[in-house]
Amino acid sequence: MHGSGNSDLNKGLLKGLRNKGSAVEAEPASGAPLSGDRLTAIAAEFERSGSGWFWETDGRGNIVYLTAEIAELFGKSPEMLPHTLFSSLFLTDLGGDGSAPRNLSLLFGGRKTFAGLTVRAALEGSEVYWVLSGRPQFDAAGEFIGYRGSASDVSEVRKAENETSRLAEFDSLTGLSNRHRMQRKIDAMLTAFRAAKRVCAVMMIDLDRFKAVNDTFGHKAGDELLRQVSARIKRVFDTTAEIGRLGGDEFQVLLPDYDDRGRLGEIAKKVIAMVTQPYQLEEGRCMIGASVGIAIAPYDGVTSEEIVHSADIALYAAKNGGRGQFRFYSSELQSESHLRKVLESDLREALEAGQLAIEYQPIVSASTDKVIAMEALLRWYHPERGKIPPDVFIPIAEESNLILRIGEWVIRKACADAAGWPEEVRVCINLSEQQLIAEGLAHLVSNAITQAGIHPDRVEMELRESVHFSEGDATERELNAMRRLGVRLSLDDFGTGASSLGYLRRAPFETIKIDPSFLRGALREDSRNADLIGALVALAKALGMQTVAEGIEAMDELALVREKGVDLVQGFAYSPPIAADEVDEFLSGQGWEIKPSGPEKQRSERRKLYQKIHVIHEDHLYDVILRDLSRTGAMIQGLLDVPVGTQFVVDFGEGQLAIARVLRSHQDQQGVEFETELVEDGAGGLVTRNRVSPYALAAAGMPLAQLPPGQYPLAEQAGDQKMLTMPRFGVRNLKAKLEY
């Protein structure tokens, strides 16, 4: 194996290697031919130097000769070599396409001389590359008997090339795909999936409050935070997902064969929950959040530009909705963006114009039904648009920093109103994160209390669990300053974010409010929410805090929270929010006690709507009005005397079709039950879990206006581009389309 006794072999190898590209040129430039001994010595010296090595195979590709050092590298004894294929020494995934061994086999099969073929050694834990050269050998009769060749090590060069390629494709900070690679992956996937009529989702993730951490702790801490965020995001997704960092604090995820919006919504919630958990950096502990936008091809676009743009619009809507949310793309988001700009302009004038008001909702003792507190709830009555929902205008106020001016007015007005109430009743005021990080909040609260002439312990400040604060920062200082004033502190939406015992310890809360989401489905046999409510109550009692259950509407919900030991209750079972000028009369008239009333049993949460939709029955398409909507059913209006048990296909638009059955019918109103429950859209709305593919809709003749931007060959073949005639499909046929 070390060259002894191989004089004839080395002579043959040297002779065979007299070709362009070989590692050794055996012919002397001048003078007499080399003797056999000198040839052997030169070959052995060449092998020992590490500059290159020799190889030879038989006609079947098995190894006849291999330089001893290389044989030892692979752990091959002389007895093993004749039974080892030369091609088995190399990996099959060089360059990611398996081209090197395949090319080697083709070259051997074609019996052609070759040079400059790069291969990677099949050595576990090592990255070794060689450049191979070889020449076919024939016997006296012209029969092919194998190959002889040489190789030289190019590992360092190849590693440098690989690193350059990696840097061009991957983010150097996190190791995730970079913007260029994600763009290429999305282009390639959409092209392939369009032909196969497959689906894929694009998820955009943007970090909330990252800039504050970066500014406070510095860029080094910001980089470490991004690395930790990346590691958490990777844990959420399986190996089929392509995850990239586009730059700054923005991430992108490509999910092949995903269009189930229920599943995608759960994934988005998990991303938000994972990112929201506290981080430990060298510079200190911090918390951030995340917002997620989701678009699905081909429903929301068929090209990479369209689908990424749709995901961006959904992300923008999620951030404007209050952050820490996810949104699916819909065509309505385009108009929402325009409406938001209009409302922001109008909100700047609303305070001076007297359009803002405060309503109050009672908070009642669960054991005595006695009114303990009133929560101040901000309302906006727009002169043209009517009552603007708080979940619409409050995020606008927070994003535009109008919340500071509006928040000051609310604090002063609520304290002044509370001065006219009995001493036993306190007022609860919600605080935004912008108010907490601004200097002077405690001074403002103190001044408002003094002007109103009320005792500080009658004022309770509520902050959401999503509010970020860390030890020693401005938020903690303001909270401690208010606590020294004697103001009570309450933690809202408890159990939905990233609270910890340390979080509760740093801010001495008197009250925690259990989020209404824990009540939804808590009475179902398969739900663990009731146990979670009990655990939260036990935690609060251990820390000496009161608990408030929000959103109580039904008697069975009230019985549940009483059983679990909740101290205080708030919800429509006792009272809706009432106008400020009615509070005095309400409190005195009720004698500080309210008897609960409402439905006996919890039912699916319904959203009041007034929306024009279509229903399809047998051969007909009807216009109806959607009056209210829940996960499991809806109330529609517009059809007369429909028999109970009738099946419809409800068309919500944009490919959202739901099979429904009539449960109740009275004159022109029908209560229908969906065959498949709807899922959350991330903004308090509901959507169908799946949609009918735009290709199927186009083939079925649906209006092209309902299709997302893009080219649909099936639709173009059908004829008129402005409006295609709806064929006469019955429920059974459309049900097949849903399954498609």
- Rounded to the nearest angstrom, the gap between the alpha carbon of residue 593 and the centroid of all alpha carbons in its chain is 46
pLDDT one-digit tens code per residue, 89-104 = 988 654 444 445 566 7
Is a pLDDT exceeding 80 seen at residue 319?
A: yes
> Which of 131, 254, 98 lies closest to 182 in space, CA to CA?
254
> How far is the C-alpha of 177 from the C-alpha of 159, rounded, in Å?
19
pLDDT score at 710: 42
> How far is the C-alpha of 189 from the C-alpha of 201, rounded, in Å?
11
Query: Do 578 and 545 meet the contact criterion of CB atoms below 8 Å apart?
Result: no
Choose the weakest-confidence range: 264-268, 289-293, 527-531: 527-531
Mean pLDDT along residues 317-336:
81
> Which of 533, 520, 567, 542 lies closest to 684 in space, CA to CA?
520
> Which of 294, 202, 334, 299 lies closest to 706 in space, CA to CA?
299
pLDDT score at 714: 36
CA distances for 177 relative to 185, 229, 290, 601, angstroms? 10, 14, 19, 51
Put residue 252 in one of left, alpha, beta given phi > 0 → left and psi -120 to 50 → alpha: beta
Read off the pLDDT band of 692 (50, 70, 90). Answer: confident
Scanning the structure block, which residue is given the tokens 């919800």?
Answer: 571
Is a pLDDT exceeding 90 seen at residue 409?
A: yes
Selection from 72-81, 591-600, 679-688 with the highest mean pLDDT: 72-81
CA 394-397-403 angle, to 5 degrees, is 100
> Which of 218, 239, 236 lies closest to 277 in space, CA to CA?
236
> Which of 547, 544, 569, 567 lies closest to 558 in space, CA to CA?
569
Bond from prior residue into 508 cis (ω within 30 degrees of 0): no
pLDDT score at 100: 55
Is a pLDDT exceeding 60 seen at residue 489?
A: yes
Q: Please report the sign of the dihedral spanned by the C-alpha atoms of residue 644, residue 648, residue 654, residue 656.
A: positive
> Which of 4, 44, 46 lies closest to 24 in space, CA to CA?
46
pLDDT score at 377: 95
Average pLDDT, the chain: 81
- For the purposes of burial, counting CB atoms within 10 Å of the CB of 386, is it exposed (0-12), middle (13-18) or buried (19 or more)? exposed
pLDDT score at 386: 83
pLDDT score at 307: 94
Instruction: List residues bridging with 55 in a β-sheet.
Output: 66, 149
pLDDT one-digit tens code per residue, 21-35 = 333 433 444 444 555
| Amino acid type, 633 | G
pLDDT one-digit tens code per residue, 499-513 = 556 566 666 789 999
Read off the pLDDT band of 38 (50, 70, 90). Answer: low
Q: Could you tell me where the DSSP H helices lie in 74-113? A: 99-110
Residues for the chain: how many in total?
740
Mean pLDDT along residues 394-405:
86
Is a pLDDT exceeding 60 seen at residue 731?
A: no
- Strand, coil or helix: what is 663? strand
Is a pLDDT exceeding 80 seen at residue 118?
A: yes
Q: Please report the sign of the dihedral spanned by the C-alpha atoms of residue 82, residue 84, residue 87, residue 91.
A: negative
> How far is the C-alpha of 22 from the C-alpha of 13, rounded, in Å?
11
DSSP state of 140: T
The CA R_g of the chain, rounded to the nearest whole Å, is 36
Q: Cβ–Cβ contacts within 10 Å for residue 127, how many?
A: 11
Mean pLDDT along residues 563-590:
86
pLDDT score at 28: 42
Query: Do 583 and 556 meet the contact criterion of CB atoms below 8 Å apart?
Result: no
Read off the pLDDT band of 237 (50, 70, 90). Answer: very high
pLDDT score at 314: 93
- Strand, coil or helix: what is 321? coil
Contacts of 647 (CB under 8 A, 6+ apart): 617, 659, 660, 661, 662, 731
pLDDT score at 444: 94
The per-residue DSSP string of 439-471 comes to TTHHHHHHHHHHHHT--GGGEEEEEETT----T
Is a pLDDT exceeding 60 seen at residue 125?
A: yes
Domains of the chain in sequence order: 7-161 (3.30.450.20), 170-330 (3.30.70.270), 338-590 (3.20.20.450), 607-739 (2.40.10)
CA distances for 236 relative to 20, 157, 241, 272, angstroms? 53, 37, 10, 10
Higher pLDDT, 268 or 699: 268
pLDDT score at 249: 93
Is a pLDDT exceeding 70 seen at residue 146?
A: yes
- Report the first-to-last Cα separation within the chain, whole angstroms: 65
- Strand, coil or helix: what is 307? helix
CA distances for 252 relative to 210, 267, 268, 270, angstroms? 17, 14, 12, 15
What percent of the chain stands above pLDDT 90?
A: 33
pLDDT score at 672: 92
Mean pLDDT along residues 328-341:
76
Mean pLDDT along residues 351-373:
92
Q: What is the 3-state secondary structure (H, E, C) of 570-594?
A: CCCCCCCCEEHHHHHHHHHHHCCEC
Q: Cβ–Cβ contacts within 10 Å for residue 418, how many?
A: 26
Mean pLDDT along residues 484-496:
84
Mean pLDDT along residues 406-427:
94
Instruction: List residues bridging with 396 in a β-sheet.
Output: none
Query: Do 680 and 265 meet the contact criterion of CB atoms below 8 Å apart?
Result: yes
Mean pLDDT along residues 274-297:
90
Q: Cβ–Cβ contacts within 10 Å for residue 46, how many?
A: 19
Q: Cβ–Cβ contacts within 10 Å for residue 227, how many?
A: 12
> How far is the C-alpha of 216 from the C-alpha of 519, rounded, in Å?
38
Q: Please report the sign of the dihedral spanned by the C-alpha atoms of residue 488, residue 375, residue 495, residue 463.
A: negative
Is a pLDDT exceeding 80 seen at residue 15?
A: no
Is a pLDDT exceeding 70 seen at residue 398?
A: yes
Is a pLDDT exceeding 60 seen at residue 598?
A: yes
> How far is the C-alpha of 489 from the C-alpha of 510, rounded, in Å?
6
> How far is the C-alpha of 583 from the C-alpha of 638, rounded, in Å?
40
Instruction: List residues bridging with 117 in a β-sheet.
Output: 132
DSSP state of 643: P
Contacts of 370 (CB under 8 A, 6+ apart): 364, 592, 593
- Strand, coil or helix: what is 105? helix
Mean pLDDT along residues 374-389:
89
> Which of 396, 389, 395, 430 lies closest to 607 in space, CA to CA?
389
The per-residue DSSP string of 395-435 comes to HHHHHTTTHHHHHHHHHHHHHHHHTTS-TT-EEEEEE-HHH
CA 177-178-184 angle, to 5 degrees, is 85
Read off the pLDDT band of 418 (50, 70, 90). Answer: very high
pLDDT score at 696: 63
Instruction: List residues bridging with 293 in a β-sheet.
Output: 204, 327
pLDDT score at 548: 94
Contacts of 416 (CB under 8 A, 6+ apart): 448, 451, 452
Contacts of 28 (CB under 8 A, 6+ apart): 34
pLDDT one-digit tens code per residue, 156-194 = 888 777 666 666 788 889 989 999 999 999 999 998 888
Is a pLDDT exceeding 60 seen at residue 701?
A: no
> How far is the C-alpha of 118 from the C-alpha of 141, rounded, in Å?
32
pLDDT score at 7: 40
Scanning the structure block, which residue is given the tokens 């919630």?
Answer: 269
